[in-house]
Every structure is written in C-alpha cells, then in structure tokens.
C-alpha cells in the first residue's frame, strides 16, 4: 500500500490537472445538445485509470523501453507478472460497457446523431479493451523495434570509444 501511495504521489499533479480539465469540460458542455463530449472524456480517463492500475498490479508487457530517459524512474511502479487479479474484473467490466454502448449505437430507434455518438464512444472503449489485452498477451518485443530505432546509436558511433555518447532524444 505504501508503494501504491508513492505511485499516486508521482502522478498526483497530472491527475489533478485531469480533474480540473474534467470540471471545465462539464461546465462548458452542461445542458448542451451534445452529451458525447463529456462521455468521451470520461471513457478516455476511465480506461486510462484502469490501464494504470493494471500496470501497477502487474502485467506481462510493460514496454518500459519506450520511456524517455528522464522518466525511467516510473518503471519502479511497474510490475512484471503474466496477469494480475484485477485484470479479469477490469476486462469484463470494460467489455460489458463496450457492448452496452454498441447496443445503443445499433438501436433501430436511435437518431443518426445518437447512433454516431454511441458508435464513437463504443469504439473508444473497444480501443481501451484492446489496450488491456495488449498488456497481457504474449507479444514479442521485436514487434515494436520500428518504434525504438530512433533510440539506438548508429553502429559507427557505438564502435568508436573515442567519441562521447550522445544523449538520446
């Protein structure tokens, strides 16, 4: 629990900024004709929180190699496990939410606007569900090599000990 609170303290300002943004979105859209703006914000924030909790509790694919050097300390809050106890609950509830949103999107009595809005929110939820599965499925790291190429130094520089190492950008 102590380590969990250290993780909360690490991203507290970021989370406070998101809460302020959520309040701003609600104030701007309150009573408006489009309820899907706040719903989009809520789905994105909620799925992000679920993913963060799963990473903290432990998943197979953390890909901490993608962290910039100045943020490598965040890897201390990641746990390597094939799966955690929270994952089945989070994937089940997220999938159920996605199905409910999709049902509303395909309701024959829904207007085009409503169907489009629910389709968009259901699709964002589906992407969140996909992200959760990508955290635990056995995916080889070489799949992401194309994204890490910019972090590697050229072979000529790596072999020449006389040249100082350049910072990674």
Average pLDDT over residues 94-117: 97
Those residues with Cβ within 8 angstroms of residue 133's Cβ, 6 or more apart along the chain or in another chain: 91
Q: Please provide the average confidence, as pLDDT, over all residues in the chain.
A: 83
Q: Which two tokens stand for residue 1?
A: 């629990």
- Whether the per-residue pLDDT at 28 is higher than 60: the answer is yes
Q: Which two tokens stand for residue 145?
A: 């090599």
pLDDT in tens, 108-150: 999 999 999 999 999 999 999 999 999 898 877 677 677 777 7
Calculate the alpha carbon distances from 110 to 105, 117, 123 in Å.
7, 10, 17
| Euclidean distance between CA atoms 42 and 22, whole angstroms | 8
- Whether the per-residue pLDDT at 166 is higher than 60: the answer is no
- Whether the per-residue pLDDT at 169 is higher than 50: the answer is no
Read off the DSSP letter of residue 106: T
Percentage, residues of the chain above pLDDT 70: 80
Calculate the alpha carbon distances from 66 to 11, 38, 47, 104, 166 in Å.
18, 30, 20, 37, 18
pTM of structure: 0.74
The alpha carbon of 140 is separated from its chain's Cα centroid by a whole number of angstroms, namely 19
- Sign of the Cα torsion 144, 149, 151, 153 reads positive
pLDDT computed for residue 164 by the predictor: 52
pLDDT in tens, 43-72: 999 999 999 889 888 888 877 777 777 777
Those residues with Cβ within 8 angstroms of residue 55's Cβ, 6 or more apart along the chain or in another chain: 62, 77, 78, 79, 135
């Amino acid at each position: 629990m102590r380590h969990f609170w250290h993780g909360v303290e690490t991203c507290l300002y970021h989370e406070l900024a998101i809460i302020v943004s959520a309040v701003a979105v609600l104030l701007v859209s309150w009573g408006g004709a489009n309820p899907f703006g706040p719903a989009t914000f809520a789905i994105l924030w909620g799925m992000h929180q679920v993913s963060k909790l799963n990473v903290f509790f432990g998943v197979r694919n953390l890909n901490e190699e993608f962290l910039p050097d100045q943020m490598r300390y965040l890897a201390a809050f990641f746990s390597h496990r094939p799966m955690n106890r929270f994952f089945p609950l989070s994937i089940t509830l997220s999938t159920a939410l996605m199905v409910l949103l999709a049902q509303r999107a395909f309701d024959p009595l829904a207007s085009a606007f409503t169907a489009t809005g629910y389709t968009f929110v259901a699709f964002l939820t589906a992407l969140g569900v996909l992200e959760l599965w990508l955290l635990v499925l056995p995916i080889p790291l070489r799949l992401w090599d194309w994204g890490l190429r910019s972090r590697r130094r050229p072979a000529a520089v790596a072999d020449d000990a006389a040249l100082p190492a350049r910072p990674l950008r």
